[in-house]
Amino acid sequence: MKALSAEDRGWWRHAIGYEIYLRSFLDTNGDGFGDLAGITAKLDYLKWVGVDVIWITPHYPTPDHDHGYDVADYLAVDPRVGDLDAIEHLIEKAHALGLRVFTDVVPNHTSNEHAWFKASVANPTGPYRDYYLWKDAKPDGSPPNNWVQHFGGPAWTLDPGGSGQYYCHLFLPEQPDLNWTNEAVRAEFDAILRFWCDRGVDGFRIDVAAGLMKHPGFADNPRIREVRLEDGPARIFNSFEHRYDLAQVSTVDVYRRWNKVVEPYDAVLLGELGVWDPVQFAHFVEDGTALHMSFALEPGLTPWKVDRLLDCVLGMAEHAGSAVAWEITNHDQHRAPSRLGDGDPIRGRRRALALTTLLVGLDGMFFVYQGEELGLDDGRVTQGGLQDPISVRNPGDHNDGRDGARTPIPWTPGARNGFTSATTPWIDAFDRTDVETVAVQEADPASHLHHYRALLRLRRSWPGLAQDPLLALKRERVDATHQVVTVLRANTLVVANLGLDEAEVAVPGGAWTVAFQSWPLHAPTGQPAAETVPAETTVVLVRTAD
Ligand code: TEU
Ligand code: CA
């Protein structure tokens, strides 16, 4: 895209993003695997839905132990999804439609099949040894410290080359962590970012953005609580305070450097920061000289505990403002209707829309996860069809597996929902019902899709909804059943009633009209604002006249 004017520089602060889980979006060549050409074919649809930018999950060659997040070559395209021409063609068509394209960059770790790691193992005195984090064993031969990896088990694996040293991995043993104190590693990533910017990429979603630097002492992490043997990997991981392995301030310097690398391209850095504390989060984004923005991941991991959800949303909004990228579902999380509905997907959908409407009314980017516009709950995978290493490698009935969010997009009614012509797609999921498909919802003006699209369009037709300065962001908590948040700007007022009873609304003077109501799906708009908002419902009011 051509150089941006000064006003356009911060375009992302009020944009709508859309996450594409590449392998499950659309398969165009019948191998059962979503591909770049599938995205290109659906750009018109995405434009119609009302998104401004797409983020594509990793497109690099990979042995697939963690579904693309184990990268074997950062400067190439996985032949299963296409080639360099396919990605350039996708970007060109997206730009012609006014859509921007973010790709995923995975800097915390590589695949164990990356040439750097192979060389690191093969030659302990060679130049690549220091690309990774090698430490000696303790005198008794055990790992250097008590760190655990996210997906179950220790964060250390013995050198397959037989040196007796361990290498560090915050994820699978097949995902060795890079050594970000090594200048050579930093230089490699400068070149990787430039390579993709030169191909027209508009920004990067940075995987595990909080993980890069480790505390130099590599000391044991403090334990916060005890766990039981049968606990899933997430609970075990969260039973430690990650004082030494995550969120080191020194990681911010890496992003200051990246910020300069991408500046000539006007490209944007979007972190995937597993940091819950808003003050710590703000360090990574605060003055726009490191990350431009980052995902706040907690609303996507929290069940319907309104107090907790609002603490997190308001804390992030207060400390990081328009540098927050909001989401309530991504490929690592349960789909919102499954997570929020206490077992009832319709209730879950209602709550998801109430929360979404509040977040769309705040400063910062909002990201839709593919299929969220259809109101999908978690997909169902056959017992033998489980793919996620979290499920496959950790027996038991913990709820940590991520396959439910990763099943294919249902495009049309019928076998395999139009996702693929293959009989065995990469993930063996049950087909969705007809009403869940894009084709059926497109044809029905009262569908979830049309409703959701109206919300996204509203942000565009009333730019003041996210662009005018925030006059007040207020939480009103009367008692356990009254949970109301109001977002006031010059000409818009968002009232989120996440409580169990209807709530009265104090509308400022002047005439206010309902521009959107999150529930029911066919809620009318255009009428004067009512004095109350129903339970678990958010309304967007706009000032129409004085
Ligand atoms: O997920 C990272 C991840 O698990 C973190 O968000 C974590 O919750 C946080 O750091 C708190 O510890 C990303 C990808 O989205 C996921 O699909 C990959 O499996 C993972 O990284 C490893 O690359
Ligand atoms: Ca394919």
CA of 297 to the centre of ligand 1 (A): 10
pTM: 0.98
Q: What is the per-residue pLDDT for 471? A: 96
Start-to-end C-alpha separation, the chain: 41
Domain(s) labelled CATH 3.90.400.10 in the chain stretch across 115-168
The span from the CA of 445 to the CA of 356, in Å, is: 20
Region 288-307 average pLDDT = 97
Ligand nearest to the CA of 247: 1
The pLDDT mean for the chain works out to 96
For residue 166, list its beta bridge partners.
135, 158
Active site residue 207: yes
Helix then strand then coil, % of the chain, to nearest 5 = 35, 15, 50
The model's confidence at residue 479, banded by pLDDT at 50, 70 and 90, is confident
Residue with tokens 């099943």: 407
* b (16+ CB within 10 A) / e for 262-275: beebbbbbbbbbbb
Residue 280: how many CA atoms within 13 Å on its side-chain side?
Answer: 15
* Helix locations, 58-182, DSSP H: 84-96, 115-122
3-state secondary structure 453-483: HHHHHHHHHCCHHHHCCCCEEEEEECCCCCE
For residue 177, list its beta bridge partners.
109
**pLDDT, tens digit (0-9, with 9 covering 90-100), for 231-267:** 899 999 999 999 999 999 999 999 999 999 999 999 9
Rounded (5°) CA angle 205-206-212: 175
Domain(s) labelled CATH 2.60.40.1180 in the chain stretch across 468-544
The model's confidence at residue 408, banded by pLDDT at 50, 70 and 90, is very high
What DSSP line would sit under 488-510, residue for residue?
E-SSEEEEEE-SSS-EE--PPSS
- Percent of the chain at pLDDT exceeding 90: 93
The model's confidence at residue 546, banded by pLDDT at 50, 70 and 90, is low
CA of 460 to the centre of ligand 1 (A): 31
**pLDDT, tens digit (0-9, with 9 covering 90-100), for 157-204:** 999 999 999 999 999 999 999 999 999 999 999 999 999 999 999 999
The span from the CA of 16 to the CA of 24, in Å, is: 21
Superfamily of domain covering 468-544:
Golgi alpha-mannosidase II (2.60.40.1180)
Type of residue numbered 377? D
**Nearest C-alpha neighbor of 474 from the set 464, 462, 455, 489:** 489
Nearest atom in ligand 1 to the alpha carbon of residue 237 is 12
**Does position 367 have pLDDT exceeding 60, yes or no?**
yes
101 neighbors 54 (Cβ within 8 angstroms): yes
Instruction: Say which DSSP state 163 is in.
Output: S
CA of 423 to the centre of ligand 1 (A): 30
What DSSP line would sit under 5-35, residue for residue?
PTGGGGGGGG-EEEEE-GGGT--SSSSSS--
**Does position 417 have pLDDT exceeding 80, yes or no?**
yes
- Residue count of the chain, please give it: 546
**Does position 206 have pLDDT exceeding 80, yes or no?**
yes
**Among protein residues, the one whose CA lies closest to atom 6 of ligand 1:** 274
Q: What is the per-residue pLDDT for 7? A: 63
Rg (CA), the chain: 23
Ligand nearest to the CA of 36: 2
Ligand nearest to the CA of 41: 2
**Among protein residues, the one whose CA lies closest to atom 3 of ligand 1:** 208
Tell me whether strands 53-56 and 100-105 are parallel, antiparallel or unpaired: parallel
Number of helices (H), then strands (E), belonging to the chain: the values are 15, 18
CATH architecture for the domain at 115-168:
Alpha-Beta Complex (3.90)
Rounded (5°) CA angle 448-450-451: 60
Q: What is the per-residue pLDDT for 506? A: 87
Q: What is the per-residue pLDDT for 481? A: 78
- Percent of the chain at pLDDT exceeding 70: 99
Measured from the Cβ of residue 402, the count of other Cβ atoms closer than 10 Å reads 18
**pLDDT, tens digit (0-9, with 9 covering 90-100), for 14-71:** 999 999 999 999 999 999 999 999 999 999 999 999 999 999 999 999 999 999 999 9
43 neighbors 97 (Cβ within 8 angstroms): yes
Strands (E), 324-399: 324-326, 365-369
What DSSP line would sit under 180-226, residue for residue?
TT-HHHHHHHHHHHHHHHHTT--EEEETTTT-S---TT-PPPPB-S-
Pocket test for ligand 1, best of 112, 149, 332, 406 (most atoms within 8 A of CB): 332
317 neighbors 473 (Cβ within 8 angstroms): yes
Active site residue 272: yes
**Does position 2 have pLDDT exceeding 90, yes or no?**
no
The model's confidence at residue 229, banded by pLDDT at 50, 70 and 90, is confident
Q: What is the per-residue pLDDT for 58? A: 98
**Among protein residues, the one whose CA lies closest to atom 20 of ligand 1:** 69
**Nearest C-alpha neighbor of 298 from the set 328, 256, 259, 253:** 328
φ and ψ at 70, to 5 degrees?
Answer: -125, 95
**Does position 1 have pLDDT exceeding 60, yes or no?**
no
CATH architecture for the domain at 11-111+183-457:
Alpha-Beta Barrel (3.20)
List all residues whose CB is within 6 A of at least one atom of ligand 1. 66, 69, 106, 150, 171, 207-208, 210, 272, 274, 297, 331-332
**Among protein residues, the one whose CA lies closest to atom 7 of ligand 1:** 274
The span from the CA of 338 to the CA of 343, in Å, is: 7
Domain(s) labelled CATH 3.20.20.80 in the chain stretch across 11-111+183-457
CA of 208 to the centre of ligand 1 (A): 6
56 neighbors 104 (Cβ within 8 angstroms): yes
CA of 274 to the centre of ligand 1 (A): 8
- Which of the residue ranges 70-84, 326-340, 367-381, 455-469 would you say has the lowest mean pLDDT? 455-469
**pLDDT, tens digit (0-9, with 9 covering 90-100), for 98-117:** 999 999 999 999 999 999 99
* b (16+ CB within 10 A) / e for 14-28: bbbbbbbbbbbbbbb
Region 404-415 average pLDDT = 97
Nearest atom in ligand 1 to the alpha carbon of residue 150 is 4
The span from the CA of 534 to the CA of 512, in Å, is: 17
